[in-house]
A and B are shown apart, each in its own frame.
Chain A
Amino acid sequence: MSSHDNMPEMSLYQPVQVEDAIGIATELAGRGWLVGGGQDTYGWLKDRAKTADALIDLKGIESMRGIKETADGIEIGALVTLTEITRDPIIKERYSLLAQAAGRVASPQIRNVGTLAGNVSQDVRCWYYRRGLNCYRAGGNLCYADTPEGMNREHAIFNASRCVAVTPSDTGPALVALEAQMVIQNASGQRVVPAEDFFIGPNLDIRHTTILRPGDILTAVRIPAKWANATFYFEKVADRNAWDFALVSISAAMRVNNGVIEDSRIMVGAVQATPRRLTSVEQAIRGKPRNESTANSLGNLASSDANPLNYNHFKMPLMDNLVKRAVRGQA
């Protein structure tokens, strides 16, 4: 067992145009590795837990930077850092849910270099997988975490399919709540995919967490005006208040009129491999006043069909509690 802390020797491409990056990525296919802020990348490569022949550094592509207003909301460049999101006046004013979520990612140092695209595209944090073990997600035949004695406190309580890792992204659930659109470019052109469909679970593809395939580049995230200035609730519970991944997080967007919830999108993070939408909760609170009573009436609706592992039963009450807090509007 060797331990490394040097980057392996590999080629480095630094395109300044998206088209060039796509060309390189398409040509290299599975042998190329897209890198933005690098906060997920460098650990994998330095640990030799994953390898690639070449890095395609996207940071020189100006068109993937910046936050701009569009006819129907805003468009956030894929390379916009999490710190920039927390400080952007438009996002803070209209989409504070995203600003809050971005502001709870990791640590200030990581937020300063970590990008929005990286945060939503990052790989799962299951410690067995990150160790470089040949588990299902790494192309192997088994899961080390979901066994009678597996150490799976941080793992999934919903929709596990052989792999029980959870989405580590804080901004992912917020983007799905805001009905964001993910702009993806490849050699065939551009396609726009709802954030809800962007994330995929192990049942569909156990090796990937998003629909991105080799040659695809997530170039921007569009947030429609639909949920602008809505009532938001974000909370992330992690062991530590900085530099940690969520045990459970909640991102809720609600339209509240005269105290009544007219519409909502309630998303939970870190309970399954993708952001989990709580449609049953959304339906249950539609037309109800946003108050303690409505919150309490939910009981354990959110977690009722959970399938916990050995050590993560706590995620069920925690998730129910966070849903209640979102619905009543206070911690």
Chain B
Amino acid sequence: MDIIRYRNNVWGEEVILGVSWDLLWVVAVTAFLLLAAHAIFMAALAKKKAKPSSEGKRVNRHDAIDRAFHWIMAGSVLTLIFTGISPIVGIRISWLNIHWIAGLILTFVVIFHTIRALFWQDFKSMLLGPNDFKEPFDESVKPGKYSFEQKGMHWAMTVLVIAVIATGLTLFTHIDSPWWERPSVDNEGTLGIFFLLHGTATLALIAFTAIHIYFALRPEKRFYTRSMVTGWISEAEMKENHDPSKWKAE
């Protein structure tokens, strides 16, 4: 199994073509096994806790616009993943236009989200600090608005999405679009490195997306998913999982 695909360029020199798509299956199987192991562990061995009630007073967790950003981002990422891997796995759809349109949507939403998070939201609530790293090892330490895992997932997704966007936009300039015609490629090796980075970031993104979805669907985390739909969590859920002193809920 290869990690990187190589091909000869126009002059017979070996250059990087991109990531080996054998890794797609490695990622898929590995993610599945890890998540299955986690699910089994949680079901069989993890300490069962009482589920806090969703009734009672509600605490606003996500504004409507943020929820919209999230779901547009989610839709874009899933569309990008599906359209990106469909030709690799032999699904014949007219994928390319959908792919770059979804990519542009993702790009714009990420930009909007970033601006909003920096200037209109409590940006600090998403920052990872030294104290956050105590959380997994000390049950008494509860997080503020976002848990260590949530911050970790957020920043991992941030890095990966920025990576796929940056490399994707570069690759986008190499195909015909309504605004330009594709240029000559001076260095196929450089182009190949961009494909490699795009592919590698995509593989990681697929893995993290799978993890993200898995946790979103887990019973003990499902109230977060609900909050991403409805905007609120209950006060009980908040107190059970968060430290109200660190999260000044509105």
Contact = CB atoms under 8 A, between A and B. Distances in A.
A214 to B, nearest CB: 10
Nearest to A201: B94
Nearest to B194: A141
Contacts of A146: 176, 181-182
B184 interface: yes
Contact of B183 (A134, A147, A161, A205): A147
Contacts, number: 53
A134 B94 contact: no
Interface residues of B, number: 27
B28 interface: no
Contacts of B92: 200, 204-205, 211
B208 to A, nearest CB: 25
A141 B182 contact: no
B205 interface: no
Interface stretch (B2-10, B117-125, B133-141, B142-150): B2-10
B1 interface: no
B195 to A, nearest CB: 5
Given A148-B184, A149-B184, A206-B87, A142 B191 contact: yes
A133 interface: yes
A1 interface: yes
A148 B188 contact: no
A139 interface: yes
Interface in B66-116: 87, 90, 92-97
B185 interface: yes
Interface residues of A, number: 23
A161 B96 contact: yes
Q: Is the interface of B mostly helix, strand, loop or mixed?
A: loop
Interface in A130-151: 133-134, 139-144, 146-149
Nearest to A160: B176
A213 B92 CA distance: 11
B10 A144 contact: yes
A312 to B, nearest CB: 14
A134 B96 contact: no
Contacts of B175: 162
Contacts of A134: 7-9, 17
B174 interface: yes
- Which of A139, A142, A204, A205 gathers the greatest number of chain B CB atoms within 10 Å? A142
B198 to A, nearest CB: 10
Given A141-B188, A141-B191, A1 B12 contact: yes
Contacts of B10: 133, 144
A323 B217 CA distance: 58
Interface string A155-169: 000001110000000
A213 B89 CA distance: 13
A119 to B, nearest CB: 23
Interface of A: 1, 133-134, 139-144, 146-149, 160-162, 200, 203-206, 211, 213
Given A134-B8, A148-B183, 19 more contacts: A1-B12, A134-B9, A134-B17, A139-B17, A140-B7, A141-B174, A141-B191, A141-B192, A141-B195, A146-B176, A146-B182, A148-B184, A160-B176, A161-B96, A162-B96, A162-B176, A203-B96, A203-B97, A204-B92
Interface of B: 7-10, 12, 17-18, 87, 90, 92-97, 174-176, 181-185, 188, 191-192, 195
Nearest 4 A/B pairs, CB to CB: A203-B94, A134-B7, A147-B184, A204-B92
